[in-house]
Amino acid sequence: MDDMIIKVRNLKKSYKGLPVLKGVNFTVKRGGIFALLGSNGAGKTTTVKILSTLLTLDHGEAEIDGVDIKHAKKVREKISLTGQYAAVDEILSGRENLSMICALRHVPNRKKLVDDLLIRFELTEAADRKVSTYSGGMRRKLDIAMSLIGNPSVIFLDEPTTGLDPQSRLALWDTIKALSDSGTTIFLTTQYLEEAERLADYIAILNEGIIAAEGTVGELKKRLPRGVIEFIFKDISHMEYAMDLVKEYEPRIDRKSLSLSISVEGGINQITDLFNHLKAGNAQVFSFEQKLPTLEDVFLGLITEESRAV
């Protein structure tokens, strides 16, 4: 059995003459969690729609579990797609939603499978309530439970935690991780970098229509061998004053936390120079902290590099 369950080669797609995908290449390992990252409009959902046979490609090749995506019917037998919004019937109960998909998929032993899924996704108590009474997190869990019916080889999760509160998001992360641990291949798209860092075995960053970088979280962080110094201020006026003093370092601003974050290569001379700038200007720093690079730092660094190249 091929270790790579998804293979994408030189994928191209345009809308009304505007290129969205300009030659995308990547592979997805069987049984892991693959995350495709990118800003809004980067082409993440377009890629998922092509791989799930909802859109046709303009150029290139792709296959899933050994089947060319041109053979849409065979591909659909191997995959399941959970979009950005839960595709559940609100008039029906959770149990009825699951039973309906079982019937459509011609699944044997439907009652047992439905009961097992309700238990697995902790929906037993709400099983016979209308889905219209479910919270966002419960609807999303039901949506993913429905996607497992028929034992798909790959589950596409297109920004699955969009609109969820932090508690529901954390619960869904546990669910996704458990699916992967059971052997299901997960193809995840997300704008939440923390989500990718917590879940993904392998990450590809889509920017300007191509894969700008790919690798494990550790491998991607090595592409940006530097840290971040975060300065916290007592009020907005002190922060804006300090921001002007160190603007040559291109600080990232968080007005909510009253902080400036500046990437540094780690050399003592650069760090000393930065502190000297603030000291010479009598900037009132409340506190500071040096941090290791995060996936967000890598992502923003790559996006900035690509933009400058253009």
Question: For the segment 161-205, what is each residue's pLDDT rounded down to a tens digit?
Answer: 877 788 888 888 888 888 888 888 999 998 788 888 899 999 999
Note whether 18 and 203 are within 8 A (CB): no
pLDDT band at 230 (very low <50, low <70, confident <90, very high): confident
Statement: residue 225 has pLDDT above 60: no
The partner residues of 14 in beta bridges, in order of sequence, read 19
Give SS3 for 96. Answer: helix
| DSSP label of 294 | P
99 vs 296 pLDDT, higher one: 99
Cα 88 to Cα 28, 287, 290, distances in angstroms: 28, 48, 46
Per-residue pLDDT at 191? 79
| Averaged pLDDT score across all residues of the chain | 86
Q: How far is CA 257 from the centre of its chain?
A: 25
Residue 58 is given by DSSP the state: S
DSSP secondary structure of 155-206: EEEESTTTT--HHHHHHHHHHHHHHHHTT-EEEEEES-HHHHHHH-SEEEEE
- Cα dihedral 27, 33, 39, 42 sign: positive
Distance of alpha carbon 156 from alpha carbon 288, whole angstroms: 41
pTM: 0.74
Model confidence pLDDT, tens digit, residues 79-99: 998 876 667 889 999 999 999
**Confidence class of residue 33 from pLDDT cuts 50, 70 and 90?**
very high
For residues 66-90, give the mean pLDDT.
88
The residue that leads in pLDDT, 304 or 122, is 122
Question: Can you tell me which residue has the tokens 């923003």?
Answer: 300
Number of H helices, E strands in the chain: 11, 14
Q: Return the residue matching tokens 């002190």.
A: 238
Predicted confidence band of residue 55 (pLDDT cuts 50, 70, 90): very high
Residue 136 has pLDDT above 90, yes or no: no
Tens-digit pLDDT profile for residues 263-284: 776 566 777 888 887 888 888 8
Domains recognised in the chain with CATH numbers: 4-221 (3.40.50.300), 227-292 (3.30.70.100)
- How does residue 304 score in pLDDT terms, banded at 50, 70 and 90? low
Q: Give the per-residue pLDDT at 207.
A: 86
